[in-house]
Amino acid sequence: MTEKTGTRDALGNEISLGQLYGYSVDNSGHTHTVIGKSQKFTATGKLTIEVIFSKSALWMGESKENPWIEKGKKVSVKPSKCFPVYEEDIAHYLIESEVDIPKEYQLEMEKPIDSLANDFNYTNEELAVRYNGNLVCVLNPYLINKMKIDRETLEKLKLTHIERAKIFAAMEATDDVFGLKYLAEEFDKLEFKQQALWGWPQDANMHRWFDVPKCTCPKMDNAERLGTKYRIIAEDCPIHGTNEN
């Protein structure tokens, strides 16, 4: 009889079926990253994921759309390889990657979110964050409800995501190391601000410092270490590395 792999993700949390997860694998110099919705557990204990999108990179190169793993394909993987992905993150990533947002994540602007109660019954449009006419992200309605975010705080949260987009745009537009480091520090301050607005502890170990443009530190490895003091730094990273060029 084949031993099952367990039902916990890479962070040690129980897998929640129907939620978004990602994983990455290395093969002959290629790194393949897959993001999708968890469907079920197989008889051998693997997690079946329906692919939403997949990226591939050769060695330390830039990741591009993976032609070998198509959207809608079902793949099975050990649960312990999977890390959680949140809806507000995936919307931003898909837009940056110029990939169509899957139907289940497209905004229905007139439809209220029925699961939210009374004063927190926001529409999708009210939860949407836009910058320069583009959708940046959609705030998680379930988290908004759970944390009892009022309308004033909601607007402040949306402004922080616009500020994030501005910081990232400025970083994309420069290769000046001093400027990149300064903007990365501003992003770090912004994450503290967002934690305060959400009502979370001020914890730098939960910051996604590796998401900033021009950072070459391994994203998936560092995402798995969120909540800990451990970081994996690429020496040649112009922002976090130690090499002097």
Residue 1, pLDDT score: 36
Kindly state whether residues 173 and 95 are assigned to the same domain: yes
Q: Is 76 within the bounds of a domain?
A: yes
pTM of this prediction exceeds 0.75: no
- Split into its structural domains, the chain has a count of 2
Kindly state whether residues 49 and 101 are assigned to the same domain: no
What is the spatial distance between Cα 124 and Cα 147, in angstroms, rounded to a whole number? Answer: 17
Q: Is 3 within the bounds of a domain?
A: no
Q: Which residues contact 192 (CB under 8 A, 6 or more apart)?
A: 202, 204, 207
Domain-terminating residue out of 84, 106, 133: 84
Q: Is 202 within the bounds of a domain?
A: no
Kindly state whether residues 131 and 142 are assigned to the same domain: yes
Instruction: Provide the residue-wise pLDDT of the chain in tens; the chain has 245 residues.
Output: 334 447 888 888 888 888 889 898 877 677 888 888 888 888 888 899 988 878 777 777 666 766 666 777 888 889 998 988 876 565 544 434 433 333 433 333 334 434 433 345 688 888 888 887 788 888 888 788 888 899 999 999 999 999 998 898 899 988 999 999 999 999 999 999 999 999 999 999 999 999 999 999 998 889 888 889 999 999 999 999 976 54
Kindly state whether residues 105 and 76 are assigned to the same domain: no
Residue 243, pLDDT score: 67
Residue 208, pLDDT score: 93
| Integer CA distances (angstroms), 209 to 68, 89, 136, 214, 233, in order | 30, 14, 18, 11, 11
What is the spatial distance between Cα 38 and Cα 74, in angstroms, rounded to a whole number? Answer: 9
Q: Is 4 within the bounds of a domain?
A: no
Q: Is 170 within the bounds of a domain?
A: yes
Q: Is 233 within the bounds of a domain?
A: no
Residue 209, pLDDT score: 95
Enter the tokens of residue 234: 């690429």
Domain-terminating residue out of 143, 158, 191: 191
Enter the tokens of residue 78: 């050990």
Full residue range of the structural domain in which residue 149 is found = 87-191
Q: Is 209 within the bounds of a domain?
A: no
